[in-house]
Chains A and B, each alone.
Chain A
Amino acid sequence: MHSLAEPILLLVVLTDFAVLATSRLSACIRAIASQGVLLGTLSLVVDGAWSIHAIALALGTIAIKAMLLPWFLRWAIREASVRREVEPLVGYMPSFLLGAAALVVSFAVAARLPATGSGPLLVPVALVTVMIGLVVLITRTKAISQVVGYLMLENGIYLFGLTQARRVPFLVEAGVLLDVFVGVFVMGIVVFHINREFDSISATNLSELRES
C-alpha cells in the first residue's frame, strides 16, 4: 500500500460529505466527478506497480466516472432545467449528521473485520461511501440526486473491489464495466421517461405510476 493512498482516501470521504451538504445539483455532480478522479488515481496507487494494465484501468475509470457520467448528468439537468434539490425528505443538517454517524460506525465496524492487507483506511472508507450513498439515495427526491447517490454507492463497491484487486484479477474491471453499463442504461431510460411523461424528473412522481 502506497502512502499516497491515505490522503486520497481521506479526500474521497470529504467528497462524500460534500455531496451530502450541498443542495446545488451542479455542485453535487462536480463532487462526484472529482470522486471519480480520486478513485482512478487510487487504483494506480494501491498496487504501487505502474503496469500498462493498471494505467489503462485508471484511465478508464476516470474517463467513465469523472467525464462520461458527469457529462451525462449535466446534460440531464440542462434538459430538465432543475438546479437545486428543493425538498429533501430529510433536511441537510440531519442527513449530514447521519453521514457523520455512518462515518463513526464504519470505522468501528472496519476495526473488527479481518485485515485485508490493503492499508487501514480502504475498508472503512469503502463502507462509509456505500452508506452515505445510501443516505443520499434515501433522503433526496430529485432523480438526479438519486443517480448521484447510486454512483456513490457504486464507488464504494469499487473501493471494496480494490481490496481484492491483487487476489482476484479483473474483478475491478468487470465491476466498473458492468456497473457503469447498468447505471447508464437504467438511469438513462428512467430519467428520459420520467422527463417525457411528467415534464419534470422528480422521483416522487413515480408513485403516480402505480395501478390504482
Chain B
Amino acid sequence: MDKKVVFEASNLCINAVRDDGSELPIVKEVNFQVREGEVVALIGESGSGKTTIALSALGYCKPGLKISEGSTLLFDQDLSAMNIEELRQIRGEKVAYLAQSAIATFNPALKINEQVTESAVIHGSKTQPEADSFAKGLYGALDLPDPDNIGTRYPHQVSGGQLQRLMAAMALCGEPSLLVLDEPTTALDVTTQIEVLKAFKKVIRERGAAAIYVTHDLAVVAQIADRIVVLYNGDIQEKGSANAVISKPRHPYTRRLMQAVRPLPAAGKKDKENKQPGNVIEINGVSAGYGGDVTSNPKEVILKDINLQLARGEVLGIIGESGSGKSTLARVIAGLLPSFKGDILLDDQKLQPRLEDRPRSELRKIQFVYQMADTAINPKQTIGNILGRPLEFYLNMYGSKRKDRVLELLEMVELPKEFYTRYPHELSGGQKQRINLARALAAEPEVLLCDEVTSALDSIVGANVIELLRGLRKNLGVSFVFISHDLSTVSAFADTIAVMYKGIIAETGTVHQVLSPPSHPYTDLLISSVPELRVGWLEEADRNIQEAKNKLEQGNLT
C-alpha cells in the first residue's frame, strides 16, 4: 500500500480569468494522490473541472485559466514553481498526455512515426533508431496491424480506432511514469472502445505506469481504474477504491451518475399505447451512395437494398458503428441525399428522392434533429427567431400567434419562457439540444429523424433528453427514427430495432427479438461490447466478443 506517490494535488484551486479581470473558480480545493502502478479515475460531467485538473499534472493550464492556490507535485517537485524550460523537460518524458480525439491531436502534415518518436528523441532519452524500434514494439503491443510499416503513414491513412491506439504509443514512447488520459475512448464505437480499452489496460499493467483517467462514463471506469474520484462543479464529491465507489456509492451525485448508465433492458416490457394502424414511412429496396452521378450510378454505394417500415407512433431504432450507413439512411429519408434505386413512401405516398422536388407540405412532415446542436443552431439568432422561423415557413404563423406558439414549444421541451430572447451561447449543451428538438417540433412533423441526439451529451443530461423524447412521443404521437451507436440508449427508447452493418440491414425486429438469441453475429458483437458497470467485466466479455467476431468473419466468407 505504501508505494511511492507519483503525483499529488494538494489544495488545488484553479480560476478562470474573465475579460474584465475578475476570476471565477473552476476547481476548488482538490486533494488527491496517484501512486506507482495505480490508475486513478476522475469522473464527472463536462464543466466539472476534470480535464483542467488532469492537465495541471503536466503543469499546463488552458489559455484563460490559472492556478490560484495550492500545488501540484510530481515526484515531490512543485510543477507550478517551474519555468517553461523545466516544464518542457518533464512533459512527454515523465508525464504524458492522451487527448480525447486522436484525429484532432495528430498533426495532419507529419508522418505518424515522427510524431510518436519525436518527444523521446528530443528529450534525449532515446536515439532515433532506438525510438523507432521501441515504437514498433508498442504498435505490436497495442494490436495495431502491420507494426513495421504503420508509422510511415500519415494520420488520415489509418482508422479512428487505430489512431487512438497510436496516440497511446505516442504517449508511451518516452516511457513516462505518469499517463494522463482524457476521455480516450469517448469518441469511439462500442466495438472499437473495447479494443482500445483492452490495449490501454494491457500496456498500463505491463509497464507499471501510473495513470490519471478522465471520463464521464462509469462503466468504462469500472474496467480500468483502481481508485475513483467523483467531481461535480470543481469539487470532489467522493473518492475511494473503484470497488467501493461502484458497489457502495455514498454520495447522491455518484448514484445519479450510476443510474444514467442504463443496463440493457429485459426485453418485451414495452408499452404500446400509441400504436396506430398503418406505416408512416415505408422504405422499399432503397440504395444510395456518394460520388459520380448520385441519382443513377454513384461511385461508392453506401446503402444496399434497404427495406424498413416505421409504424405510426412508433420508434424505429437504427444502430450500427460509424461507417455502417445509418446517418446516410437518415439523409436519404430526408431527401438530402437522393437514392438511386427503390422508393420511400410517406403516408403511402411516394416521396421524390430529391429534397428540391418535394413540396413544402411533405418537407414539413419529416424533420431532422442533428447530433451537434452547436453547429445546427445559428449562433447569431435569438431562441425566439430560431423557433419562430419554421413557424413562418411551414405554418404561416406571424406576430403574436408566432410568439405564443414559440412559448408553447419552449414549455414542451421543458425550458423557461425567458429563453425567448436569449442567444444559443447563453445555454448549456443539454438546453441547446432541447432547442434543437423544439425547432424540429415547430413544424408539427409526423416523423422526427434523430441522428445521435444524445451522443454529444453527458450521461445524466442524455438520460433527461431521452425522458423528454418519451414524453413527446406519448403526448404528440410523433414517430421517430432514432439513430445511435449506443445499444442501451436505443433499446431503452425504441419499439423496433434495425441493426445496420456495412450498408445493409443485418437484422430487424422488436427490441425483444433483436436482443434475445439467436441473433445476427454482428448484433451479438454489439451486445457483448456494451460495457457493464462492474469490475472485471472487460476480461469476461473478451471471450464472447472474440466468438462473435469469429462468427462474423465466417459469415462474411460464406
Partners in one complex: no
Chain A interface residues (CB < 8 Å from chain B): none
